[in-house]
Chain A
Amino acid sequence: MKRAHLILALIGIAVLILAPIGQKNYIIYVLCSWLMFSIAAMGLNLTLGYAGQVSLAQASFIGIGAYITSLLTLAGYHWVFGWLAAMGATFVIGLLLGYPALRVQHHFLAFVTLAFNTIVFLVLRNEEEITGGSFGLVGMPRPEFFGIKTMPQLNFYYFVLVLFVISAFVFWWIVHSPWGRAFKALRENPIRAESLGVDTRRITLLAFAIGSAFGGGAGAIMAPLVQFIEPGSFALIHSLKILLMVVVGGAGFFYGPMLGAAVVIILPEFLRFTEGYYLIIYAFLVIVLMVYSPSGLIGLGSKLMARFRPKQEVRKDMAKGAQL
């Protein structure tokens, strides 16, 4: 890790440690929610931003993770088991969802994943015996670690922060490993990547599996955070919301999803004083951003930086990608 990056990360963590101190419970709840969605968005950033595989199903993986964790903790198991089971299950289901991606791409793949999200929603709603149907599940306990209860909001925040930092580190590690390079190669030129020995099938499946497992991990946090889950929380609109986070933040950039999640979760809170107008202002800001900087906030940042320190750009006059 470059020194500057490490310092930036440490400052970020310090800010996150101080952020909730002296805040009202509701603000701390919003911050927890932001960290939780950041983890889910990191996963989608891996699948979409790095590996280039469109997915409109991330909310369903949060859902699967949240239901598994809820059922296990309600049955008396410690949260850690719920968390592990949630990540494991979403990894495997994500792997299976990756199979269609071996055959279809882009908007077709978007439709496949969209259909998957809908199926998960229907299963959660209709399998009342297990999932509680439209009423959902309530009363999930917040875990206790070595005698420390996470029931107080501030404690819970630090619990989420630890998980966030672990997730961010794992994410960072993956995208900077040779796997990360293979993901990018898959996004930029799959035929060339395959001809250089990259097993593009395996890498595609892994991109889905790992990205989904991050979703499952976020779901495991959501269960004790909200302490009430119902199928509607994992409907398609929420997958679109996570997609928005990734795109607004900057797909394919490490800090992209965290910034994007901040915009989607925290900004509306700031705009609340405008009463009924906040959604309109919010939508307008997003449109302006996307027009001005398609690569999101990170792209906007590097655009501004480039005024001072010119940066290279990929040329647009050369067709990219191997074609047979």
Chain B
Amino acid sequence: MTDTVLSIRNISKSFGGIHAVRDVSFDVQKGEVLGLIGPNGSGKSTLFNCVLGQLKPDTGEVRVNDQTVAGMRAAALNKLGVGRTFQQLSVFPQMSVLENIILAGQEHQGTMATRLFGPSDAGLTAEADQMIKFFRLEHLRDEMAGSLSYGQQKLVDAAMAFMAGPSLVLLDEPAGGVNLTMLANLKDRLRAYNREHGTTFVVIEHNMEFVMSLCTRIIVLAEGAIIAEGTPDEIRSNQQVIDAYLGG
């Protein structure tokens, strides 16, 4: 029996004349931390959006835990245990950090009726506080999310992706704009999560130091197609990748 969490088959997506993603296929195994790298505009974010229901791919098929998710709405996919972050900051600015994180979990609690007639925090305050502690955001708990610094908002954003206990998390440039200490912290958090919960990750990132040290396997996209795949060491020494992306 294989433990494939995410299976991507022949995904293509064009915008007018631009072939953003060309016939991409790969599998992600349970517990794996997969890095997705490539130059700007190589189609990484578009691929995420095709996988997660924000965009409809032109061709191809996506399976999560052996279930096809074609045409599934993002909310339904999230309920299947798939969390994500966006490349752009995506917190709810006029809600407190705590409220943001409760929101991220509440739709997985009870039914529409219990979410109307039950407790206003959907019984999630304790769990949200734990998540806040895990991401070391305690001092910001009751601040308005939109008033935090960029890096702090990034952490809240990441914390939200984990709130519902997903089995698969796709992160789009989690390290962008985050300072070194915070970055080390974030890497720590992701590793700890992976270890403690067996959560599978796919991470898009331009920070090579971050990707190479975090990921167990790396896929390189260029102009919408996969040009290389391997361990961090293999990727670092791959001539094609150096030419297309890593430079001299």
Contacts and interface: CB of A to CB of B under 8 A. Distances in A.
Interface of A: 174, 176-182, 184-185, 188-189, 191-202, 252, 312-315, 318-324
B195 interface: no
26 contacts: A176-B120, A178-B115, A182-B115, A188-B93, A188-B94, A189-B91, A189-B92, A191-B54, A192-B90, A193-B92, A194-B74, A194-B75, A197-B164, A252-B94, A315-B147, A318-B150, A319-B88, A319-B89, A320-B89, A320-B93, A320-B146, A321-B88, A321-B90, A322-B90, A323-B86, A324-B54
Given A195-B84, A197-B79, A324-B55, A182 B144 contact: no
Given A178-B120, A197-B164, 8 more contacts: A177-B120, A189-B90, A191-B74, A194-B75, A195-B54, A195-B84, A318-B150, A319-B89
Contacts of B163: 196
Interface string B90-121: 11111100010011101111001001111011
Residue of A202, A322, A323 with most chain B CB atoms under a 10 A cut-off = A322
B99 A312 contact: no
B14 interface: no
B103 A181 contact: yes
A312 B74 contact: no
Residue of B55, B107, B122 with most chain A CB atoms under a 10 A cut-off = B107
B116 A179 contact: yes
Contacts of B75: 194-200
A192 B92 contact: yes
B90 A194 contact: no
A240 B243 CA distance: 61
Interface in B32-62: 45, 49, 52, 54-55
A312 B74 CA distance: 32
Nearest to B93: A314
Interface in B10-28: none
A322 B104 CA distance: 15
Contacts of B45: 324
A182 B94 contact: no
A133 B117 CA distance: 42
A102 to B, nearest CB: 12
Contacts of B92: 184-185, 188-189, 192-193
A293 B118 CA distance: 36
B202 interface: no
B81 to A, nearest CB: 10
Contacts of B94: 184, 188, 252, 314
B78 interface: yes
Nearest to B104: A196
In which size bucket is the chain B interface?
35 or more
Nearest to A314: B146
A319 B87 CA distance: 12
B73 interface: yes
Interface in B119-150: 120-122, 143-144, 146-147, 150
B199 interface: no
B73 A194 contact: yes
A85 to B, nearest CB: 22
Residue of B103, B160, B164 with most chain A CB atoms under a 10 A cut-off = B103
Given A199-B75, A312-B143, A318-B153, A188 B95 contact: yes
Contacts of B52: 195
A192 B86 contact: yes
A189 B94 CA distance: 10
Contacts of B112: 202
Nearest to B160: A196
A196 B107 contact: yes
A198 B73 CA distance: 10
A184 B88 contact: no
B88 A198 contact: no
Given A181-B99, A185-B92, A322-B86, A198 B107 contact: yes
Contacts of A323: 86, 88
Across the A-B interface, the 5 shortest Cβ-Cβ residue pairs: A314-B146, A197-B107, A178-B115, A197-B78, A192-B90
Contacts of A200: 75
A201 B115 CA distance: 16
B6 to A, nearest CB: 16
B166 to A, nearest CB: 10
Contacts of A179: 115-116
Contacts of B89: 318-320
Nearest to A311: B144
B90 A191 contact: yes
